[in-house]
Amino acid sequence: MENFFMENFWFVLIILVWTIPWKGVALWRAAKNNQQIWFIFFLLVNTLAVLEILYIFIFSHRRKKKFFTKSF
């Protein structure tokens, strides 16, 4: 296994540079939205940022409440 990392150093480095920021944003957003299941899932499972990206752009949006005001 150590030999694999030494032979493919740049490939591993590119994967790390790609996944760490996405994972960080997804974890931050899951914590901010109080979604513990998503947070634990992202913390334990590495999907090369595929699910993290889907979560950030599709699943993490809170539904905004509409406030109606009376106009006089």
d(CA 32, CA 55): 13
Of 61, 38, 63, 62, nearest to 51 by C-alpha is 38
Q: Is residue 33 pLDDT above 70, yes or no?
A: yes
What does pLDDT average to over the chain? 86
Poorest-pLDDT segment among 4-8, 24-28, 48-52: 4-8
Note the pLDDT tens digit of each residue in 7-26: 989 998 999 999 999 999 99
Q: Is residue 67 pLDDT above 80, yes or no?
A: no
Query: What residues does each domain of the chain span?
Result: 2-57
